[in-house]
């Protein structure tokens, strides 16, 4: 039986990947950082047999030993902040070094198949492309462009590092899955920062929507693509945008309002001048400033054609997110 090594196994996306792996009959070894996260996964999957490894993405200790006997590396672990750090290297170095640490360990352990969780953030900000032109997998974000944030640069450089690695090690088959903003039902109450946009919208914490758009996808589709890619020959050596559709933040807010009229979601967009002003001293506004006048739209057509499915509509993903958040908060 194929054994899959999953890094960052307690993450929002990774939990859905684990469920998909168990349903498809794969053996799993999961890396976590603490006993607390191990217990969390054991409680989430009480019927599953899970092997665990305790690893730190920032340290070399134990990685190669942990992957011994595994056939596939599924590398999902990467830092995901909501606001810009003061020093971009705080994000870039852990993302790049962590990816190379996992890839080197996979090589040493004899693993020939790697699925990497990247991001549409590594696609949609190519400096020499018209800013409102949609992107696809042939595009790459320009990491040192002035409008590119630290997270976008970190995902781009980490993915490039992985592709450079397999170029030097052609016996390893790499596939990258590049999700947009990931929504959908969390599997438990610890869903981190992934659903914070929905949480803030339904909680009435955002008086005006950012004047920007967001490419979005459902977590269930993202997990399906990761697992389906393992044995899909057409997926080897390819990157796939997990991108259902692109909408303005205001449109997302309206979708939630249409679902529940009592929600105090924003009714208008913040003026551009206000975002530029706030970005001078608010870290979370700096990321939005870099998206003004640019679209994050990425085509998901390649993924649908290769994997043979249709993405879950974003409205359904948002509603599923909101329902789960409300249930956990009540």
Tell me which residues are annotated as active site.
Answer: 155
Question: What is the rounded CA–CA span in Å between residue 26 and residue 3?
Answer: 6
Across 71-106, b (16+ Cβ under 10 Å) vs e yields bbbbbbbbbbbeebbeebeebbbbbbbbbebbbebb
Residue 58 class from Cβ within 10 Å (0-12 exposed, 13-18 middle, 19+ buried)? exposed
- Report the distance separating Cα 288 and Cα 275, nearest Å: 7
The CB density around residue 43, as the number of other CB atoms within 10 Å, is: 9
Rounded Cα distance between 39 and 66, Å, is 19
Ramachandran angles phi, psi of 233, nearest 5°:
-60, -40
The number of residues in the chain equals: 330
**Within 13 Å, how many C-alpha atoms sit on residue 171's CB side?**
8
Q: How far apart are CA 82 and CA 96, in angstroms?
A: 19
CA distances from 262 to 188, 202, 257 (A): 25, 9, 7
Measure the CA–CA gap between 180 and 70, rounded to whole angstroms: 29
Alpha-carbon gap, residue 178 to 122, rounded angstroms? 8
């Amino acid at each position: 039986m194929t054994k899959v090594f999953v890094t960052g196994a307690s993450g929002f996306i990774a939990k859905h990947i684990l469920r998909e792996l168990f349903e498809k009959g794969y053996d799993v070894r999961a890396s976590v950082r603490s006993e607390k996260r191990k217990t969390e996964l054991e409680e989430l999957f009480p019927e599953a047999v899970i092997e665990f490894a305790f690893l730190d993405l920032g340290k070399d200790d134990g990685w190669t030993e942990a992957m011994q006997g595994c056939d596939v590396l599924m590398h999902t672990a990467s830092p995901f902040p909501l606001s810009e750090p003061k020093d971009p290297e705080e994000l870039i170095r852990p993302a790049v070094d962590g990816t190379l640490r996992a890839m080197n360990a996979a090589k040493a352990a004899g693993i020939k198949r790697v699925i990497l969780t990247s991001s549409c953030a590594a696609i949609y900000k190519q400096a020499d492309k018209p800013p409102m032109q949609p992107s696809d997998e042939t595009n790459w974000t320009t990491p040192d462009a002035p409008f590119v944030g630290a997270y976008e640069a970190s995902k781009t450089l980490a993915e490039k590092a992985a592709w450079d690695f397999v170029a030097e090690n052609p016996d390893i088959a790499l596939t990258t899955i590049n999700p947009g903003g990931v929504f959908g039902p969390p599997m438990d109450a610890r869903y981190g920062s992934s659903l914070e946009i929905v949480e803030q919208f339904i909680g009435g914490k955002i008086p005006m929507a950012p004047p920007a758009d967001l490419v979005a996808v459902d977590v269930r589709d993202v997990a399906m693509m990761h697992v389906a890619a393992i044995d899909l020959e057409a997926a080897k050596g390819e990157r796939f945008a997990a991108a259902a559709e692109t909408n303005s933040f205001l449109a997302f807010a309206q979708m939630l309002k249409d679902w529940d009229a009592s929600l105090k979601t924003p009714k208008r967009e913040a003026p551009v001048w206000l975002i530029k002003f706030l970005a001078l001293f608010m870290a979370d506004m700096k990321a939005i400033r870099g998206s003004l006048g640019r679209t994050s739209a990425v085509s998901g057509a390649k993924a649908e054609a290769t994997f043979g499915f249709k993405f879950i509509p974003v409205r359904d993903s948002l509603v599923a997110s909101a329902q789960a958040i409300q249930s956990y908060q009540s």
